[in-house]
Structure 1
Amino acid sequence: MPRYTGVRTFARCPHVSDLTDVDAAVVGIPFDTATSYRPGARFGPEAIRASSIILRPYHPDLSVDVLGSQRVVDYGGVSITPGNAVRSAEQIADALGDVVRAGVFPVVLGGDHSIVLGELRAQAARHGPMSLVLLDAHADVWDDYYGERYFHGTPFRRAVEEGLVDPRRSILAGMRGTVYSEEDVLQAKTIGFEVIGCDDLRAMPPREFARRVRERVGEGPTFLSFDVDLLDPSCAPGTGTPE
């Protein structure tokens, strides 16, 4: 069957609601009303799935049959509440809690970055405080923005406050762009995160970055979060906060 036909699931993986014997599940979270600049990330899961139909299972550089070595499925999307970041975080935690408790590895497609708080709640409920590896143009550790404490720029401060993330075992990388004051630059370090700025990250060989990450996070459970605004806007022009 041609790859452009059929139901659009991630990489043409089967769409299931039963997680029996599943290793990893792709989950969409189409929420973007906690963004401060440009909406549209609600269509991210749909767009990623549509683009992924060309993905094939075998990775020649790593000599790994990615989709053949384990059972990967598309679990559909989380039901969220547009305009309500607090309630949506609860809905995300509940929905992903089912995935995590089943022993399935969730691969989440967003969505603005506020959704990560619900993800971390689900993971920490099973694994305890997580190490965090964040690749992002922003540290997302503001206390509030426009008076809102649950926002796309605040999730990792909330996560530390709730005991979901241990900043002493976490590393944030890729930060760049203008900010309001020096305090914005220092906040993540003050909380306890290790921070690697964009220029330093670009100059760092990948193996050195991997070494820094392993040294920082240790052997405990680790959460990886990638924000598309890490990329140059010429490569990802649809991001909500281009830098």
Structure 2
Amino acid sequence: MVSQKDIDQICTDLYQSGWTVVENFLSAAFVDLMRQDLMALDRQEKFHKAGIGRELDFVRREDIRSDRICWLENINETQNLFMQMLDQLMTAVNRRLFLGMNHYEAMYAIYEPGQFYKKHVDSFKGQRNRIMTLVFYLNPDWTQDQGGELLLYPEVSEGGLENNEPIITLPPKAGTVAAFLSEDFPHEVLTTHDIRYSIAVWFRIREGEIPL
């Protein structure tokens, strides 16, 4: 489960700046469990090419995004433990920051050497469907020459101007979690030079529901 220290850091950082990075958020043992689950699903051919957009707007654009994904559906004990942790974290963040999040979706992602995800936002301003994005990393002993860093950019100004200088360049080291407000921060995944495993999670508000 999530430690009170990590909850405090996440809530404080989100309140002050809208984003945070917590190293060693997942224990080495739990990272191994999640990675083994991911790899088992890959052997079962449960992964598919990722795309961009949702429902009728969904398209596959490998010039923008080239990873493979598999949604977590709480099908085994490992995924159940992970989702218990997400429930705890979502409840704690809601209690502290009054964000009104009431469900989430989570997926595994595999980036093969040469793959990437160009700069994008997870939710457009005013839609308020994805509220908070979290990315968990499952790559032990990751080194700088393996690439695959997450670049997080400043919030786009009211005038629509983008700042192309990243706030942070984050290597995908095992146990680390990055979290940020989904509407506010453009981000990208640089080309990886080794196989790269991660979990993306979005805390959401169901369509038609307004947080009190």
Higher-RCO chain (CA-CA 8 Å, sequence separation at least 6): 2
- Identify the TM-score tier after normalising by the shorter chain: under 0.3
Instruction: Give the number of the structure whose residues are more often strand, by fraction.
Output: 2
Instruction: Give the number of the structure whose residues are more often helix, by fraction.
Output: 1
Report the TM-score, using the length of structure 1 for normalisation. Answer: 0.25
Look at both structures and tell me which one has the larger radius of gyration over its CA atoms.
1
